[in-house]
């Protein structure tokens, strides 16, 4: 038996299947379909009696390479790649839930996910109960006999709340439900939810897995018995990752750990600096001792990530002034880029949910979220200081 490979080795080498040309860099297969040698082979492929590629909606060598590499990094048996992070969540719910089932979700999640649960899945007879906070007893209290799925982000978007994955896995499994963890903010470079008891891991590959803001993508990782229904849904419904995007994401994975480590260092320094600014009333960053789940983050993560949220005195007007005063930082709601970005969550990422839902999630008008990149941290500080000093 070969020895297990290091994370960084897997990030560069996993999922490589060279063609007859023996290329060094991963091949990009831009084709809609694949040719069979004869009718019998075509029938065997469609009947799943013979492995092989059929149609790029659900089988493509470049997409397969990305899936195998990400599964290796997450410590999962299998991965299903999708067109975006939101389609990964949708595919998971549609493949593992039915009308009449119940979801328990953190209220501290991405605004579009709240919309999916409340406005779309509810049309199909799926009910969601949102839990404020991460205390396992609160989640246990929200469980119903028909609860089939617990969903959370840890760290959460945008306040970086940290959940005890092992404790919530126990709650889910006691009630016969799956625990699904969005690992977008940490990635497998900093956190391994499957090893802590999660059943499935969700990714918006658009973020740190790409790392340079180039393409959209999503993924569901876990044991094969749980990813096979997701693949079956994708084969029919078609929220497919394109081969080109898969190829870009493959190259992004090669530098994942070094980017996450470097951006985490920058974020920690920025968070400490923000705590010293008179105009800043609160900073949310798991690496700070002031963070309520700092000890938990140290225990289940190998790093604290690159997302820093903070509140300023003066409400929306003051928050927008900080945003508008930037000259270097990109004003965009995307995150996970090598370029630092800033957004006002109450009017962007969480602008479509109700004011009540924002209040429950702790998202006020004075809150800003910075996704720290790879620029010199002194330059990031200077860019924010301009607006904080006004």
pLDDT at 21: 82
The tokens describing 142, both together, are 């929200």
Cα(88)–Cα(151) distance, integer angstroms: 13
pLDDT at 2: 62
Concatenated DSSP letters for 112-172? HHHHIIIIIGGGGT-EEEEESS--HHHHHHH--TTEEEEEEESS-TTT-----HHHHHHHH
Which residues, 6 or more positions from 188, have their beta carbon under 8 angstroms from its beta carbon?
A: 7, 70, 73, 74, 75, 256
Fold of the 7-253 domain: 3.40.640
What number does CATH give the domain 257-388?
A: 3.90.1150.10
77-130 pLDDT per residue, tens: 999 999 999 999 999 999 999 999 999 999 999 989 999 999 999 999 999 999
**Upper half-sphere CA count for residue 170 (Cβ side, 13 Å):** 7
pTM of the predicted model as reported, rounded to 2 decimal places: 0.95
pLDDT at 381: 98
pLDDT at 344: 97
pLDDT at 1: 39
Give CATH 3.40.640.10 domain extents, the chain.
Answer: 7-253
* 10-residue averages of pLDDT along the chain (390 residues): 82 90 91 97 96 96 98 98 98 98 95 94 97 95 98 96 98 98 98 98 98 97 98 97 98 97 98 98 98 97 98 96 97 96 94 85 94 98 94
According to DSSP, the β-strands at 200-204 and 102-106 are unpaired
How distant, in Å, are the alpha carbons of 97, 130, 144 from that of 124? 10, 18, 18
Give CATH 3.90.1150.10 domain extents, the chain.
Answer: 257-388
């Amino acid at each position: 038996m070969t020895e297990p490979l290091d994370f960084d080795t897997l990030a560069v080498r996993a999922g490589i299947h060279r063609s007859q040309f023996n290329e060094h860099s991963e091949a990009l297969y831009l084709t809609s379909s694949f040719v069979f040698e004869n009718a019998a082979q075509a029938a065997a492929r469609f009947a799943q009696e013979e492995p092989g590629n059929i149609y790029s909606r659900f089988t493509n060598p470049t997409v397969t390479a990305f899936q195998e590499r990400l599964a290796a990094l997450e410590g999962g048996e299998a991965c299903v790649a999708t067109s975006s992070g939101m389609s990964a969540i949708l595919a998971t719910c549609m493949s593992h839930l039915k009308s009449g089932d119940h979801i328990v979700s953190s209220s501290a999640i991405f605004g579009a996910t709240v919309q999916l649960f409340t406005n779309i899945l509810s049309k199909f007879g799926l009910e969601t109960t949102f839990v404020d906070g991460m205390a396992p007893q609160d989640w246990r209290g929200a469980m119903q006999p028909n609860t089939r799925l617990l969903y959370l982000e840890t760290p959460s978007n945008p306040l970086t709340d940290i959940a005890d994955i092992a404790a919530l896995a126990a709650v889910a499994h006691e009630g016969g439900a799956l625990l699904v963890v969005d690992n977008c903010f940490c990635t497998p470079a900093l956190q391994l939810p499957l090893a802590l008891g999660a059943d499935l891991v969700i990714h918006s590959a658009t973020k740190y897995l790409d790392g340079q803001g180039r393409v959209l993508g999503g993924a569901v990782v876990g044991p094969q018995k749980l990813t096979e229904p997701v693949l079956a849904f994708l084969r029919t419904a078609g929220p497919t990752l394109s081969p080109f995007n898969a190829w870009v994401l493959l190259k992004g994975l090669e530098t994942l750990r070094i980017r996450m480590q470097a951006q985490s260092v920058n974020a920690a320094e920025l968070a400490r600096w923000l705590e010293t600014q008179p105009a800043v009333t609160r900073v949310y960053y798991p690496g700070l001792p002031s963070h309520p789940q700092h000890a938990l983050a140290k225990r289940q993560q190998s790093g604290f990530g690159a997302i820093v949220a903070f509140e300023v005195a003066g409400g929306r007007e003051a928050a927008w002034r900080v945003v508008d005063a930037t000259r270097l930082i990109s004003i965009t709601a995307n995150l996970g880029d090598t370029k630092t970005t800033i957004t006002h969550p109450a009017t962007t990422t969480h602008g479509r949910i109700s004011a009540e839902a924002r209040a429950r999630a702790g998202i006020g008008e004075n809150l800003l979220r910075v996704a720290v990149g790879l620029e010199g941290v002194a330059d990031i500080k200077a860019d924010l200081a301009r607006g904080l000093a006004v």
